[in-house]
Amino acid sequence: MENEVAAEVARIGAIVNLVSLVVLVLMTAGLWKIFSKAGQPGWGALVPFYNLYLLLKVAGRPGWWLVLMLIPLVNLVVAIMVGIDLARAFGKGVGYGLGLTFLSPIFYPLLGFSDDPYQG
């Protein structure tokens, strides 16, 4: 009985890990495409902190805002502002920016693989 439970837990864990890997790959690919559209190095999506710096540049915010992204609660406000600015940089509205902030695994790949050009 214990072996059956352990096997089922292992199966569920494997499924969760696989789904997480797929989401990570889609998010990274979407961010890579966003950076490429904006004239930034796509590989920057793979480098922690540098990808946030590039995201700020694409959204039209100063690089020092990276420090604000490290402060609890402040980072939530900054993330919303950056999401909205990023959406506007691609000709999208506030609703899309909120989607980028709160539903990132869906909206980043959608923006990256869309035909919407970077408007700056």
Query: What are the tens digits of pLDDT across the range 56-90?
Result: 999 999 999 999 999 999 999 999 999 999 999 99
Q: Is 71 left (phi over 0), alpha (psi -120 to 50) or beta?
A: beta
Distance CA 90, CA 36 (A): 13
Q: Is the pLDDT of residue 1 over 80?
A: no
pLDDT tens across 40-60, in order? 999 999 999 999 999 999 999
Q: Where do the structural domains in the chain lie, given as residue ranges? A: 2-112
**pLDDT, position 98:** 96
> Torsions phi, psi of 116, nearest 5?
-70, 125
Are the beta carbons of 51 and 44 closer than 8 angstroms?
A: yes
**pLDDT, position 2:** 78
**pLDDT, position 6:** 85
3-state class of 23 per DSSP? helix
Predicted confidence band at 3 (pLDDT cuts at 50, 70, 90)? Answer: confident
| The model's pTM | 0.86
Residue tagged 């961010």 (tokens): 31
